[in-house]
Amino acid sequence: MKKIISFFTIFLLLTGCVNTPSYMGYKNQTLYMQAANNHLALSGQILNKKLNNFVSLGLYQYLIKLKNGETVVYEHGQTDMAYEFEPSIHRIVKIVFDAKYLVPIYGEGHLYAYQVVMPNDSVLNLIAYQSNTQDLKMVYGMSTKTFNQMIHSLNPNADSAKYTQVIKAHRYISNWTDMKVHFVPLVVPLARFMMPF
């Protein structure tokens, strides 16, 4: 049995299935992030919150005022147990914001940072996290100074964002619709594997 466990552990390491620990969440008026052994905690008070129910997807949205005075949006999407997000996180972000393109800034352990170029050529700073196919979290709308500070807190060697004229979030900017969720689709029935008996 020990040989099987050892073999399985080595297999996971060699195939890259053991990922760098990462996390994003909002709890007790604090926005938390983690990448590897680096942690970030930003105090923030909820100004507004709402829930959108797309049947297969529940989307929680929070407008949060950070301690530094900036306002950001935190979004947490969770699929129904019988569904999952189908596209990559990169594609989900592009679709939800109707983006022309994304400028990747950082990516490590399921945590990604982008400068999102919007249809009118304005730019939005965004950090997204997806721990599994049924859960997606995003925070966006911070200044580039704050964005870079957040990224460098998670990885001091990460690149810096270049665009400094950016959208400041004073409202929800993402564009989730029934059409996108069900017909693009962003959410599909969960793939289930039948085990042989």
Please state, in angstroms and rounded to a whole number, the distance separating the CA atoms of residues 62 and 146.
Answer: 18
The pLDDT tens digits of the residues spanning 114-139 come to 999 999 999 999 999 999 999 999 99
- Return the beta strands (E) in the chain as ranges: 22-27, 30-35, 38-53, 57-66, 71-79, 83-85, 101-108, 111-117, 123-132, 135-140, 187-189
User: Residue 144's pLDDT is what?
Assistant: 98
Looking up tokens 């306002």, which residue turns up?
71
User: Residue 92's pLDDT is what?
Assistant: 97
Helices (H) then strands (E): counts for the chain: 4, 11
Whether omega before 87 lies within 30 degrees of 0, making that bond cis, reads: no
Residue 49 bridge partners (DSSP): 62
User: Residue 20's pLDDT is what?
Assistant: 57
User: Residue 109's pLDDT is what?
Assistant: 87
The 10 Å Cβ neighbour count of residue 121 is: 7
User: Residue 191's pLDDT is what?
Assistant: 79
User: Residue 9's pLDDT is what?
Assistant: 39
The 10 Å Cβ neighbour count of residue 81 is: 8
Task: Kindly give the parts of the chain with pLDDT less than 70.
Answer: 1-20, 192-197
Please state, in angstroms and rounded to a whole number, the distance separating the CA atoms of residues 111 and 80.
Answer: 22
| Domains of the chain by residue range | 20-189
Please state, in angstroms and rounded to a whole number, the distance separating the CA atoms of residues 41 and 116.
Answer: 23
Please state, in angstroms and rounded to a whole number, the distance separating the CA atoms of residues 101 and 139.
Answer: 18
For the whole model, what pTM was predicted?
A: 0.87
Please state, in angstroms and rounded to a whole number, the distance separating the CA atoms of residues 189 and 4.
Answer: 33
User: Residue 21's pLDDT is what?
Assistant: 85
Provide the token pair at 155. 């990885």
User: Residue 105's pLDDT is what?
Assistant: 97
